[in-house]
């Protein structure tokens, strides 16, 4: 549609989404919210984690899992199958 006028009759200022006065605050609030949600999901996942069979190789969640710590399987240890 080359050469056609815009059908929107809104002032240019209302379409401007960049407001330097509050973009940093909005970004900080969003980062904090995402971080808080991630932390909550991480904690919930760690509290519900169960392994009926020990992993054959070290996995990152072994370092924080209560189940692994109770069984003595800390971060670098692997299960012996001999």
State the pLDDT at residue 40. 96
CB 56 within 8 A of CB 78: yes
- Which run of H or of E encompasses 69? helix 66-71
Q: What is the per-residue pLDDT across 35-81, written as a single tens digit (0 to 9) for each? A: 999 999 988 988 887 778 877 888 877 777 666 666 665 554 444 44
* pTM for this entry: 0.50
State the pLDDT at residue 33. 98
């Amino acid at each position: 549609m080359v050469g056609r006028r815009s059908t929107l009759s809104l002032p240019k200022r209302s379409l401007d989404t960049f407001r330097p006065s509050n973009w940093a605050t909005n970004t900080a609030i969003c980062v904090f919210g995402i971080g808080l949600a991630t932390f909550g999901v991480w904690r919930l996942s760690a509290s519900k984690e169960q392994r009926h069979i020990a992993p054959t190789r070290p996995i990152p969640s072994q370092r924080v899992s209560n189940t692994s710590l109770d069984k003595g399987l800390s971060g670098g240890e692997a299960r012996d199958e001999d």
